[in-house]
Amino acid sequence: MLKLALIFIGFVVSWPAWALNSGSYSKFVYAEWGNYQVAQIRPFEYAIEQGQLSSIAYSAQFSDVMRRVIPEVSELGPYYQEYLLGRDFSRALVSLVTEYGCLEYRFRHALPHTRECGGYVDDERVKEYFPFSGGYFLQQPLRVYQRGKAGNQQMGYALYLKAGNKYQPSSIWYPVHQIGSAFGRAISSKQLVLTVSVNFEKLDAAGAPESTLFETPRVLWLVLPEAKQIAAQANEQAAGRYAAKQAQVLIVEL
């Protein structure tokens, strides 16, 4: 099994002009990780080609799948292996994808710019930006927080899509891509991919973050429907629910 260290170094970059107007995302298969493109990294190539996907909705196999994509949990001992990647983690993933689905819908329908699904609108005249190209999410991550338990330990799940100015759209760490010319037929070339960062936080008795379980965030790649399919839903909230219901984790075993 390929072992790669995940090291995150943020830097501010400018958003390319073409993305502001086209409504198109850069292609995931050509996204760069160091000196390689995703298509050249065997675990990604294999997962995409074979359609190694699993729903983010909680099910009997959810925890087993998540342990495959976050194998570091096995180093924490059986206690965390049993409880950490359960229902609360699934809820957090669903919440994050729902927010993204709403954001995508607002942009495609020129709805007012806001921070969250059905959120407060500062100015009706300011329409939603192409996701992560302007507004709140150019400089701030799209973030959700879910409290839960790992057995008797209070936990916090901080999930986020990085701010749009942290990485170039050509980077694998950019928050959203379109798959591109995929290997095999399991995934449509126009489906979207979210790069999700996760911090697992231990909480104290008062519910405040005490420490994180890992020194750096863990990363998941979630495959969503095409942008036009999300935009075809009846309204913003329906688009969020649809995106979350259809979202699947790409089972990449690095």
CB 137 within 8 A of CB 131: yes
Domain count, the chain: 1
Query: Which candidate, 144, 240, 133, 132, places its Cα nearest to that of 197?
Result: 144
What pLDDT is recorded for position 182?
Answer: 67
pLDDT in tens, 199-250: 999 999 888 999 999 999 999 999 999 999 999 999 999 999 999 999 999 9
12 part of a folded domain: no
With a CB cutoff of 8 Å and minimum separation 6, the contacts of 168 are 13, 174
10 part of a folded domain: no
What pLDDT is recorded for position 110?
Answer: 97
Q: 């260290």: which residue's tokens?
A: 5
pLDDT in tens, 166-175: 999 999 999 9
pLDDT in tens, 168-201: 999 999 999 999 986 777 899 999 999 999 999 9
What integer is the mean pLDDT of 46-71? 95
Distance, CA of 235 to CA of 35 (rounded, Å): 41
Query: Which candidate, 223, 245, 221, places its Cα nearest to that of 233?
Result: 245
Show the beta-strand stretches assigned E in 73-217.
Answer: 142-150, 153-161, 176-178, 191-203, 209-212
Domain that holds residue 199: 17-250
94 part of a folded domain: yes
What pLDDT is recorded for position 18?
Answer: 43
pLDDT in tens, 97-129: 999 999 999 999 999 999 999 999 999 999 999
| Three-state secondary structure call for residue 29 | helix
7 part of a folded domain: no
Selected residue with higher pLDDT from 70 and 79: 70
What pLDDT is recorded for position 11?
Answer: 33
Relative orientation angle of helices 87-108 and 236-246, to the nearest 10 degrees: 130
What predicted TM-score, i.e. pTM, was given to this entire model? Answer: 0.91
11 part of a folded domain: no
Confidence of residue 150 (pLDDT cuts 50, 70, 90): confident
pLDDT in tens, 72-102: 998 887 778 778 899 999 999 999 999 999 9
139 part of a folded domain: yes
What integer is the mean pLDDT of 140-152? 92
What pLDDT is recorded for position 227?
Answer: 97
What pLDDT is recorded for position 22?
Answer: 58
What pLDDT is recorded for position 211?
Answer: 95
pLDDT in tens, 240-250: 999 999 999 99
122 part of a folded domain: yes
6 part of a folded domain: no
